[in-house]
């Protein structure tokens, strides 16, 4: 699947929050909130998928990198899914994925990078799966370990289910 196809599919799913896609090419899509104040840039550069953000006229900040477009889609599904849950279910139970080092899922590790790239490296069984922008407070890397192996379908259903079923029920406030 191309980055553009993923972006269009994601924007369709996140329509309740006014997410609008702008396809630049098969390898680049920009996802914007309703007013264009917040932009998410998703690019494929030689097989490396990057996700960056920018607000208004600020410079883009790299947030995540992976070799799998589905991992980028998982990350963005959870990112936009939190807002989508609030729009569709104003009184819905909050989703609270762990974000501290102790919450890393079994089989995963979040370790610092020593190569000058994004500082938080997510390893699954010792193999690099993704990188994130913050290692001191790994608020994106640790949650990723929880949903990294969840299908896009189950992840989307969980984000839109009041109780987080089928995949995230353990992380929804009762």
pLDDT at 75: 97
Query: What's the helix, strand, coil split of the chain in %, to 5?
Result: 30, 30, 40
CB neighbour list of residue 65: distance below 8 Å, 6 or more residues apart: 48, 49, 50, 51, 117, 118, 130, 131
pLDDT at 165: 95
pLDDT at 117: 84
The domain spans of the chain are: 3-168
pLDDT at 57: 84
Q: Tell me the average confidence (pLDDT) per consecutive run of 10 residues in the chain, 174 residues long.
A: 96 92 96 88 97 92 96 97 87 87 95 86 95 86 97 96 94 86
Question: Token pair of 128, please?
Answer: 């690099």
Pairing, β 120-124 against β 108-112 = antiparallel
pLDDT at 116: 80
Helix, strand or coil for residue 145?
helix
Cα–Cα nearest to 15, from 169, 151, 160: 160
pLDDT at 174: 74
């Amino acid at each position: 699947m191309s980055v553009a196809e993923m972006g269009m599919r994601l924007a369709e799913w996140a329509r309740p929050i006014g997410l609008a896609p702008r396809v630049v090419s098969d390898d680049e899509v920009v996802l914007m909130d309703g007013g264009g104040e917040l932009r998410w840039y998703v690019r494929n550069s030689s097989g490396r998928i990057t996700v960056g953000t920018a607000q208004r006229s600020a410079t883009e900040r790299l947030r995540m990198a992976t070799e799998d477009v589905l991992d980028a889609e998982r990350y963005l599904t959870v990112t936009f899914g939190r807002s989508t849950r609030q729009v569709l279910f104003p009184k819905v139970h909050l989703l609270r994925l762990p974000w501290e080092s102790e919450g890393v899922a079994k089989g995963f590790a979040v370790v610092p990078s020593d190569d000058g790239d994004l500082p938080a490296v997510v390893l699954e069984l010792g193999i690099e799966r993704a990188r994130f922008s913050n290692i001191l407070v790994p608020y994106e890397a640790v949650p990723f370990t929880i949903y990294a192996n969840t299908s896009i379908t189950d992840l989307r259903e969980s984000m839109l289910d009041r109780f987080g079923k089928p995949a995230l029920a353990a992380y929804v406030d009762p």
